[in-house]
Amino acid sequence: MNYSTDYTTHSEAIADLFASTFTASEGAEEGALIGALVRRLIAETAREDLRVFIASEDGALVGGIFFTRLTYAGDPRTVFLMAPVAVKTAHQGKGIGQRLIMHGLDALRQEGVDIAVTYGDPAFYGRVGFQSVTEADLPAPQPLNQPQGWIAQSLTDAPLTLIRGPARCVAAFDDPALW
Ligand SMILES: CC(C)(COP(=O)(O)OP(=O)(O)OC[C@H]1O[C@@H](n2cnc3c(N)ncnc32)[C@H](O)[C@@H]1OP(=O)(O)O)[C@@H](O)C(=O)NCCC(=O)NCCS
């Protein structure tokens, strides 16, 4: 597996990968929503607020993962939201997703990011270190439809302690349909 952070050269292929993967797993409407989200994340997010990792096998794109900055008005710690993540349908279930997530988290850890948070199935993301948190302990930037999916992990030796909000996400995520 090869990893790259070059999302500008491959932006259309990345958006297509997310749209087709989410269409296959969640239906056409979700596929369109996530495809549009990825296009906006790439086009509108300041470089310092965005990290993208893509995985390729034999020169073909097989997966991708986005991290975007969450800003907490009352807290100096650096927090990134991990979402969305996709592995091409035909390549799922072979460990690529977990390896890609670990690769992204390691890169963020190395640059000194304090906390990673995501919104998804705790059973799957628990395998890569995420644990449930409450919105009281770690405020979300939008009301959560599925608060049980709000999960986070410290990327430093410091334990995950209460973060003071309010929380702000990048513009592309500021859409209640995504939360
Ligand atoms: C979720 C996803 C990125 C995982 O990538 P992957 O390469 O298939 O994952 P891995 O091979 O590392 O891990 C597979 C395990 O995760 C589980 N899993 C896969 N997708 C899951 C999901 N959406 N929710 C819960 N568990 C999931 C599988 O059951 C499998 O468990 P097993 O090993 O006991 O069979 C990939 O399946 C995908 O792109 N799914 C569609 C898009 C999506 O739901 N993205 C996540 C929300 S942002």
Quick check: 167 and 122 in contact, CB under 8 A? no
Residues with Cβ within 8 Å of residue 47, at least 6 apart in sequence: none
Residue 78's alpha-carbon distances to 75, 114, 126, 136, in angstroms, are 9, 5, 21, 18
How many CB atoms lie under 10 A from the CB of residue 44?
A: 11
pLDDT in the model for residue 68: 98
pLDDT in the model for residue 74: 87
Q: Residue 94 sits in which domain range?
A: 2-178
One digit per residue, pLDDT tens: the chain, 179 residues? 999 999 999 999 999 999 999 999 999 999 999 999 999 999 999 999 999 999 999 999 999 999 999 999 989 999 999 999 999 999 999 999 999 999 999 999 999 999 999 999 999 999 999 999 999 999 999 999 999 999 999 999 999 999 999 999 999 999 999 99
Which of 23, 85, 179 best tests ligand 1's pocket when mutated (most atoms within 8 Å of CB)?
Answer: 85
pLDDT in the model for residue 175: 95
pLDDT in the model for residue 31: 98
**Which CATH number characterizes residue 131's domain?**
3.40.630.30
Rounded to the nearest whole angstrom, what is the distance from the C-alpha of residue 92 to the centroid of ligand 1?
7
The ligand 1 atom nearest the CA atom of 94 = 11
Answer whether 5 contacts ligand 1 (Cβ < 6 A): no
Rounded to the nearest whole angstrom, what is the distance from the C-alpha of residue 71 to the centroid of ligand 1?
28
d(CA 93, CA 74): 40
pLDDT in the model for residue 65: 98
Rounded to the nearest whole angstrom, what is the distance from the C-alpha of residue 75 to the centroid of ligand 1?
32
Answer whether 33 contacts ligand 1 (Cβ < 6 A): no
Answer whether 86 contacts ligand 1 (Cβ < 6 A): yes
How distant is the alpha carbon of residue 119 from its chain centre?
8
Residues with Cβ within 8 Å of residue 97, at least 6 apart in sequence: 63, 85, 87
Rounded to the nearest whole angstrom, what is the distance from the C-alpha of residue 96 to the centroid of ligand 1?
9
- Structural domain count, the chain: 1
Quick check: 119 and 89 in contact, CB under 8 A? no
Answer whether 98 contacts ligand 1 (Cβ < 6 A): yes
At 72 the three-state DSSP class reads: strand
pLDDT in the model for residue 87: 98
25, two tokens? 């797993």
